[in-house]
Structure 1
Amino acid sequence: MALKQDQVEANRKLAFKLVWIIVGALLFAFALVPLYDVICSVTGLNGKTKNTAETATKAVVDLKREVTVQFVSSVMPGLGWNFYPKQSSVVVHPGQVTTVMFEAKNITNEEVVGQAIPSVTPGKASAHLKKIECFCFVRQSLKPGEVKALPLRFFVSAELPKDVQEMTLSYSFFPASQQ
């Protein structure tokens, strides 16, 4: 009888541990996306950049250096948009605030909402691209046939490694809900 009682108690402890493992795994899964975003924005992994407008006023322009910033765009299947930069590249001095324009057109017969996801290459340059104003900060909604000019204001920090003379900023537009 005591052996059976010990077995029941051991099973109860095991079940309790398994429940805690499941609860912990669920909590970790819910925290993973925000945690990933924080890690990427801090480290520049996956081309994510920090969105800091206040550093633009403190930026010192380095007139001795030039960096070419290229722009690439893509639209994921199901969005029904044309999306492209108005200029394929710009040459900037680190610290110099620059504005470039992108254009999006809804080519469907219904209102469509999209969200732009940026990526910067090379990876070591992503932490040095500072966006002040960007269409990627919010979802974009376009009515049927509507064309919208989408501004991007940014600067490249003077701390950009000297061996980086060219960087590419890529935007991919994904379908998004209207919430």
Structure 2
Amino acid sequence: MNRTDATSQLIRRLLIVVCLMFAFGFALVPLYDVMCKALGINGKTGDAYSGAQQVDESRSVRVQFLTTNAAGMVWEFHPAVEELSVHPGAVNEALFIARNPSDKPMSAQAIPSVAPARAAAWFHKTECFCFTQQVLMPGERIEMPLRFIVDQALPADVGQLTLGYTLFDITERMPPVAAH
């Protein structure tokens, strides 16, 4: 085998590796979601909850709200209040505020996480801006509601939950379509 053939073979192998790495990158998100659901890790919560409950007025749980932007996301994003004291079984509401300071329409998706992770099964979002993509025009500001219930079955030793959202720019994958 001469040197040219060896170089061509190496380039072909490297291109195959690059293609496989690219495909694996796209497969990571669904694989991660399946793994989180199967193992109950990362504090991901279910999207739907229909369990009617009695409100436990004798117990309070502190719920903190944290927000962060993923790399490259320029939106201003924060909760209207940093924490709430809630009673298990009660329907609660919190607002999150986002503003697009850029000069172009953008699409975003918020990904939630609950800590401690072992308590995520008892945190139920009944309405959340994280269920759908958000589209904001340049300079537009929006108040996004979150409605949630902390289940009465939350272990008694859990007195505080932290609900965190990371906001991702998905403009390239999901170009904005003005809904106004």
The answer to whether residue 62 in structure 2 is matched with residue 68 in structure 1 is yes
The yes-or-no answer on 1:48 pairing with 2:48 is no
CA distance in 1, matches of 2:70, 2:28: 24
Secondary structure, aligned partner of 1:126:
helix
Q: Distance in 1 between matches of 2:132 and 2:141?
A: 17
Secondary structure of the 2:98 match is strand
Greater helix share, structure number: 1
Name the counterpart of 1:149: 143
Give the percent of matched residue pairs that are identical in Structure 1 and Structure 2.
45
Deviation at 1:43, TM superposition (A): 4.9
- C-alpha change, 1:78 and 1:128, in structure 2 (3 Å) is same
- In 2: Cα distance, 1:94 partner to 1:39 partner: 28
Partner residue, 1:128: 122
Letter of the 2:44 partner, please give it.
K
Q: Which residue is 2:110 aligned to?
A: 116
* Residue 140 of structure 1, aligned match among 134, 138, 144: 134
TM-score, normalized by length of structure 2?
Answer: 0.77
Counterparts of 1:1-179 in structure 2, within 5 Å, are 33-34=29-30, 36-41=32-37, 43-55=39-51, 58-176=52-170, 177-178=173-174
So what's the TM-score if we normalise by structure 1? Answer: 0.77
Cα RMSD, aligned residues only: 2.1
Gaps of 5+ in 1: 1-28
For the residue of structure 2 that corresponds to 1:54, the secondary structure is coil
Q: How many residues in Structure 1 have an aligned counterpart in Structure 2?
A: 151
